[in-house]
Structure formats: C-alpha cells, structure tokens
C-alpha cells in the first residue's frame, strides 16, 4: 500500500488487488481518494467557535480591560466597560449555536470577575471583608453597564435564534 499526501489536496492511497492479473505477472492497483478534513479555522468559520474557546477569549479581552483600568486608577472604568461590551457582543455572535447559552451565562460572571479582580488587585483593600464590600458596591454602582452588556448579548442571541429558525423552514 502506497500513500501520498498533497498539502492542498486529498490523500491518495494505492492498494494492490489480488486477482487474475497476478497470474500473468502484472500488478493491478486501485486508488482510494480520501477528501481532506477541514482545518480549525475553517470549522470555526462554518460551525462557530466552541464554548470553552469563547470563554477563554472573552476572559482575555476583559482581563485586558481590567489591566488598563488598574494602570489608570484601579476602579471599574472605561477600559473594563468597553472590553465587557465587546465580549458581550462578540461572544454570542461567534459561538456555535448549540453553545449559545454558554455565551449568555458568561457575561455576568465576567463582570463579577472583573469587579473582584479590580477590588483585589487595586491595593485599596486590606482584608477579605473589605474586598467583598468593594465588589458589592462596584456591582451596584455599575449595574447599568452590566444590564447594557447583558441586553446586547441577549439581542445578538435572539437574532441568531430567529435566523436559525428561519433557515430550518
């Protein structure tokens, strides 16, 4: 059996076939063509990104926003807010349809994690009680931003569900 692989094309395997031709001394072979499997990027473009990948990418995006806010004044500000809204819009837009709920549940968790990271790493709190009070206060004062991000994610998800249902008909 001989196998050749072209990086741009299918895999071709040549298999010798036993039969009448062997009696004459000639060799007969059959070519088996295997189509190439799609790569990671092409599957992500057609099917969408997996749920864990969306979680990781959203976490990195919001962490960059938190880092910007820590450099500025260690409060939840423009960096975290913009990063959170971008993650809220992009997560449900690129995730696989069957993982859409993951992208919706992720948003409040990201926001709470950002508030906790800012409270813990900001250097203004000494104990765990102060950190918890700071996180709670930050969440209460930043509730409009959380609601805006959640609403944006919900609108994107509703549009995707409507398009999915329309395509099934």
**Per-residue pLDDT tens digits for 92-131:** 999 999 999 999 999 999 999 999 998 888 877 777 888 8
Alpha-carbon span 75 to 121, nearest angstrom? 10
State the average pLDDT for the chain.
82
Question: For residues 67 and 41, which has the higher predicted lDDT (pLDDT)?
Answer: 67
Instruction: Locate 93 and state its tokens.
Output: 């837009």
pLDDT of residue 10: 58
- pLDDT tens string 12-54: 555 565 555 555 555 666 666 666 666 655 665 667 888 999 9
Model confidence, pTM: 0.71
For residues 59 and 74, the answer to whether their CB atoms sit within 8 Å is no
pLDDT at 134: 86
Label residue 146 by pLDDT band (50, 70, 90).
Answer: very high
Tell me the C-alpha distance between 26 and 163, whole Å.
59
Rama region for 50: left / alpha / beta (φ>0; ψ in -120 to 50; rest): beta
């Amino acid at each position: 059996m001989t196998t050749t692989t072209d990086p741009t094309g299918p895999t071709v395997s040549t298999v010798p076939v036993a039969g009448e031709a062997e009696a004459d001394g000639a060799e007969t072979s059959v070519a088996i063509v295997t189509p190439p499997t799609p790569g990671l990027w092409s599957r992500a473009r057609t099917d969408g990104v997996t749920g864990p990948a969306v979680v990781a990418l959203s976490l990195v995006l919001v962490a960059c926003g938190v880092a910007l806010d820590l450099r500025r004044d260690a409060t939840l500000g423009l960096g975290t807010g913009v990063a959170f809204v971008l993650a809220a819009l992009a997560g449900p837009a690129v995730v696989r349809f069957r993982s859409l709920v993951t992208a919706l549940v992720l948003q409040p968790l990201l926001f709470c994690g950002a508030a906790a990271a800012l409270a813990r790493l900001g250097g203004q709190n000494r104990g765990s009680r102060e950190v918890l009070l700071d996180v709670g206060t930050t969440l209460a004062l930043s509730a409009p931003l959380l609601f805006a991000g959640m609403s944006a994610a919900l609108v994107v998800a509703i549009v995707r569900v409507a398009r999915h249902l329309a395509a099934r008909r």
